[in-house]
Chain A
Amino acid sequence: MKIALVVQRYGMEINGGAEYHARLIAEHLAGHVDVEVLTTCALDYITWKNHYQHSFDFVNKIPVRRFKVLRPRDPVAFGRWQERLLRYPHIAEDEVKWLRLEGPWSPSLVRYIEKNRDNYDYFIFFSYRYYHTFHGMHVASHKALLVPTAEKDDITVFSIWPPLFARPRAIIFNSIEEREMIVGLSESAGAIPGDVVGVGSNIPERTNPAEFRKKYDIQGPFAVYVGRIDQNKGCAELFDFFQRYVADVKSGLKLVLIGSSVLPIPNHPSILHLGFLNDDDKFNAIAGAEVLLMPSQYESLSMVTLEAWALGKVVLANGRCEVLRGQCLRSNGGLFYENYDEFAEALRMLEQRDWLRRELGFNGRKFFRRNYSWDVIEKKYLSLIETLEQQQPKPPAPPIRPLWKRWGFSK
C-alpha cells in the first residue's frame, strides 16, 4: 500500500504546526506502509518563496517530492482581499481566488496528483485551508483523507468549505471540538468515516532539568512558553498578564520563552527569552518548569500542551480556545483562563500548591498515554484505512477540463 501525504511545507527546519504534525505522522506510518510526501519548495509560511532546490529528496528516510510555488504571496494584497471578502457579499469564485492569493500557489503539485492518482492508494491532505488541499481533493477525492487542522477563525464562514468537507473519504480530526465545528459547517461531514486522532510526540525517556537550569543560568521556579512568539499566538496578552501578575502577587516566578520571536519582548527581569532551542533543551525546560503557559486562542491541537502532559506537567491554557479548554476539562490536566483575573488566580493557585500541580500533571500524563501515544495513533490511522478498504471504492472525479472545453469552444 502506498500513501501520499500532501502538505504545504515539509522539512526538518519546521518544528511546529500542521507541517510538523505531518512529518511525525509520515515517519510513524512509514513502519507500516509505503509513504511519500508531496509538498512545495516553500519554507517561509508568510511569503511561500521557493527555498528548497531539489524536486526529490529524502527527509528522515521519507521520500519527498517538492513542487515549485508559481508566485509568492503578496501579504498586502492577500490581506486586502480577505478583508474585502469578510466585509462584503461575494461569490464562490472570489473565495477560490482567496486560496490562490493565500498560497502556496503550486498548480504543478495539483497536476501531479491528477496525473499520478492511480499510483497511490490514498492521499492524506493536511490543513483544509490551502490551495493544494482544495484542488488536490477535487482531483483525487476518491482516495482522499483529510486532516483539517481547523480552528475557529473568521474564514470558516466561506461558502467553499462545506462542499470541501463533504468530499474526502475520511476525516481525521485533532479534537472533539474540531469535529463538532466541522460537522456544524457541513452536515455531510458527519456521515463521512472519521475519528479523533491527533498526533503524538517523540518524548525522551529521560529529561534533565538541572542541566537546563545550569546551561541557561535559571534559578528559582519558572513557567515556560514554547512556540513562536507572535501576536496571533496570544503572546502580547501573555506578557501583559504575566507582568501584572508578578507585580500584583509579588511572585518570584519567572517566564521562560522558547522559540523565535516576531514580537518585541518586554524588558522585564522576570521574562527570559532563550530563542529557538533543540528538542533536548526544550523537553528539559518543560520538565523543569512549574507550569506550561499556552496563551494561543487559535489551536486545533497544541502539540506543546501534549508534550507537557506527557512529561507530567500542568498546563495553564487560554480558555477562549475551545479545543484547549475541552482538552483541559477532559484530561483534568490543566487549568484555563479567559481574562486577567482568572489567569492570576489560576497561576497563583498552581504556583502555591505543589499537590495540585502534581495531581494535574499526573492526570495529564494519563490522558496523553491513553489518547496520544504513538501506538494508539498508528492504530487509529491503520484501522481507518482498513475500514476504507472494506468499503465500496468511490468513482474517481472527472479530469479537470481545459478552459476552452469548459467554455464550449471545442464544439
Chain B
Amino acid sequence: MDQRRQQQQRRRPVNVAEIMAQIRRRIEQKKRDLKIGTEFDDLAAMKLKPLPDPQQVKSLKTPDLYGEPGGPRTGSFSMKNPEPRVQLVDPFTRPLLEFEKPNVSVEALFYSSRGGAGRFLMIIRKFTRPLLKLFLNLDAYVYEQAHVNQVLRNQTITVYERLHQQILDLRDRDDQMLRRIDYQSEWIEWMQTLRDQTAHYVKLLHGIQTNLVAELTTLAIENQNLRSRLAEMTDQLDLHGKREAIMEEQVQRIEETRTPLAQADETAALAGNDIPDAHPDRS
C-alpha cells in the first residue's frame, strides 16, 4: 500500500489534449524545418544539365555565308563586294532592231542590176508591170508580210518589257536581302555577346550551387549528430529518473525501519483514498 502511494506521488499528471497540442506544434516546427530540407532535396534531385561549350556553338558567320576572311568567296551574296549591275535599256527609247526596220518597197520587185542588161531587164519589167499586176497581186503579198513583221515586233516588245520588270523586282529583293543580312549580322553579334555573358553567369551560379549543396550536406550531418546526442541524453535522463525512483524507495525503506509505528499510522490514514489495482505487477 505504501509502495503504491509512493508510485502515485511519483506520477506525473498527463493531459492528452496538451500532449496532442504539443505533437501538433512539433509537427508544425518539423514542417518548417522540412521546408528547407525539401528545397535541399529538390536541389539534390535536380539533374544538372551539361553547360554548352561556347567553342562548340556554331557561329552563323561561317565561311559558307561570308567566306574566310581573305579567302575565296563561296557564297553568292556579298555585302562588301556587290556584283556590277548591267544598265538596262528603255524599250521605248532604244534604237530599232534589224528585224524591226520597215519593209522594202513593192517597187523593189522590179529593180535589177545597174549594168546594161539590168537596165534592159528593168525596161522590159516596166512594160510588163501592168500584165504582172493583172496576174499577181504583189502589193498584197508585201503588206501581208509587213503585218506579220509588226505582230512579231509587238510580241517581242511585250516579252522584253516583262523581263525588264522582273529584273527590276529582283534588284529590289536583292536590296532587301542585303538589308536583312546587315540587320541579322548585327543581331547575331548582340546574341553572341549575350551568350558569353550568360555562360559566365551560369558558371558563377553553378559554383554557388555546388558550394551550397556542400554546406547543406554538412549542416544535415551536424543536425543528425545533434539529434543522436539529444536521443542519447534523453535516454540518460530516463535512466537517471529510474535511478532516482529506486533511491527514493531505498530511503523510504530506511525510514520505515527507523519509525515503523509512525509509518503504519500514516498508511492507515491514506488507505481509504486509494484505488485498488488488479495488476500491481504491471502498474
B204 close to chain A: CB less than 8 A: no
Whether A355 contacts B16 by the Cβ 8 Å rule is no
Whether A332 contacts B14 by the Cβ 8 Å rule is yes
B30 close to chain A: CB less than 8 A: yes
Give the interface of B toward A (CB within 8 A): 11-17, 19-20, 23-24, 26-27, 30-31, 231, 234, 238, 241, 275, 278-279, 282-283
A296–B26 alpha-carbon span in the complex (Å): 25
Contacts of A287 in B (CB 8 A): 282
A328–B275 alpha-carbon span in the complex (Å): 21
Minimum CB–CB distance from A321 to chain B (whole Å) comes to 15
Partner of A354, one of B24, B238, B275: B238
Partner of A355, one of B12, B24, B26: B12
Q: Which residue of A lies closest to B235 (CB)?
A: A352
Whether B14 contacts A359 by the Cβ 8 Å rule is yes
Task: Give residues of chain A (327-366) contacting chain B, Cβ–Cβ below 8 Å.
Answer: 328-329, 331-336, 341-342, 345-346, 349, 352-356, 358-360, 362-363, 365-366
Minimum CB–CB distance from B239 to chain A (whole Å) comes to 11
Q: A355-B12, A360-B14 are in contact. List 16 more A-B contacts (CB 8 A).
A: A207-B279, A311-B282, A332-B14, A332-B16, A334-B16, A335-B20, A341-B30, A346-B20, A346-B23, A349-B19, A349-B23, A354-B238, A356-B14, A358-B283, A359-B14, A363-B14
Contact of A342 with B279 at beta-carbon distance under 8 Å, contacts A328-B16, A335-B16, A354-B238 already known: no
Contacts of B26 in A (CB 8 A): 345
A332–B231 alpha-carbon span in the complex (Å): 26
Whether B27 contacts A341 by the Cβ 8 Å rule is yes
Whether A311 contacts B16 by the Cβ 8 Å rule is no
Q: Which residue of B lies closest to A330 (CB)?
A: B16
Contacts of A331 in B (CB 8 A): 16
Minimum CB–CB distance from B188 to chain A (whole Å) comes to 55
Whether A335 contacts B23 by the Cβ 8 Å rule is yes
Contacts of A200 in B (CB 8 A): none
Number of CB contacts from chain A to chain B under 8 A: 61
Contacts of B23 in A (CB 8 A): 335, 342, 345-346, 349
A365–B275 alpha-carbon span in the complex (Å): 11
Contacts of A353 in B (CB 8 A): 238
A312 close to chain B: CB less than 8 A: yes
Whether A312 contacts B282 by the Cβ 8 Å rule is yes
Partner of B16, one of A206, A329, A345, A369: A329
A217 close to chain B: CB less than 8 A: no
A329–B19 alpha-carbon span in the complex (Å): 10
A154 close to chain B: CB less than 8 A: no
A205 close to chain B: CB less than 8 A: yes
Q: Which residue of B lies closest to A342 (CB)?
A: B23
Q: Which residue of B lies closest to A366 (CB)?
A: B275
Which of B231, B234, B241, B279 has the largest number of chain A CB atoms within 10 A? B279
A355–B11 alpha-carbon span in the complex (Å): 9
- Residue interface mask A76-109, B partner, CB < 8 A = 1: 0000000000000000000000000000000000
Contacts of B17 in A (CB 8 A): 329
Minimum CB–CB distance from A335 to chain B (whole Å) comes to 6
A sample of 28 cross-chain residue pairs with beta-carbon separation below 8 angstroms, ordered by A number, consists of: A207-B279, A287-B282, A311-B279, A312-B279, A312-B282, A312-B283, A329-B17, A332-B14, A332-B16, A334-B16, A335-B23, A341-B30, A341-B31, A342-B23, A345-B26, A345-B30, A346-B23, A349-B23, A352-B231, A352-B234, A353-B238, A355-B12, A355-B241, A356-B14, A359-B14, A360-B16, A362-B283, A369-B275
Contacts of A355 in B (CB 8 A): 12, 238, 241
Q: Which residue of B lies closest to A343 (CB)?
A: B23
Partner of A342, one of B13, B14, B24, B234: B24
Contacts of A312 in B (CB 8 A): 279, 282-283
Contacts of B275 in A (CB 8 A): 366, 369
Contacts of A336 in B (CB 8 A): 20
Q: Which residue of B lies closest to A331 (CB)?
A: B16
A356–B234 alpha-carbon span in the complex (Å): 14
Contacts of A362 in B (CB 8 A): 11, 283
Q: Which residue of A lies closest to B11 (CB)?
A: A359
Whether A335 contacts B19 by the Cβ 8 Å rule is yes
Contacts of B15 in A (CB 8 A): 332
A329–B15 alpha-carbon span in the complex (Å): 8
A206–B282 alpha-carbon span in the complex (Å): 11
Minimum CB–CB distance from A314 to chain B (whole Å) comes to 10
Contacts of B24 in A (CB 8 A): 342
User: Which are the 10 A-B pairs with shortest beta-carbon distances?
Assistant: A359-B14, A341-B27, A345-B23, A332-B16, A329-B16, A328-B16, A312-B282, A346-B23, A345-B27, A329-B17
Contacts of B231 in A (CB 8 A): 352
Contacts of B283 in A (CB 8 A): 312, 358, 362, 365
A342–B24 alpha-carbon span in the complex (Å): 7
Q: Which residue of B lies closest to A359 (CB)?
A: B14
A235–B283 alpha-carbon span in the complex (Å): 30
Minimum CB–CB distance from B115 to chain A (whole Å) comes to 127
A345–B27 alpha-carbon span in the complex (Å): 8
A355–B14 alpha-carbon span in the complex (Å): 10
Q: Which residue of A lies closest to B281 (CB)?
A: A206
A341–B12 alpha-carbon span in the complex (Å): 26
Q: Which residue of A lies closest to B15 (CB)?
A: A332
Minimum CB–CB distance from B19 to chain A (whole Å) comes to 6
A360–B18 alpha-carbon span in the complex (Å): 13
Contacts of A352 in B (CB 8 A): 231, 234
Contacts of A334 in B (CB 8 A): 16
A203–B282 alpha-carbon span in the complex (Å): 15
Q: Which residue of B lies closest to A344 (CB)?
A: B27
Minimum CB–CB distance from B18 to chain A (whole Å) comes to 10
Minimum CB–CB distance from B143 to chain A (whole Å) comes to 101
Contacts of B241 in A (CB 8 A): 355
Contacts of B16 in A (CB 8 A): 328-329, 331-335, 360
A332–B20 alpha-carbon span in the complex (Å): 11
Contacts of A332 in B (CB 8 A): 14-16
A362–B14 alpha-carbon span in the complex (Å): 10
Minimum CB–CB distance from A357 to chain B (whole Å) comes to 10
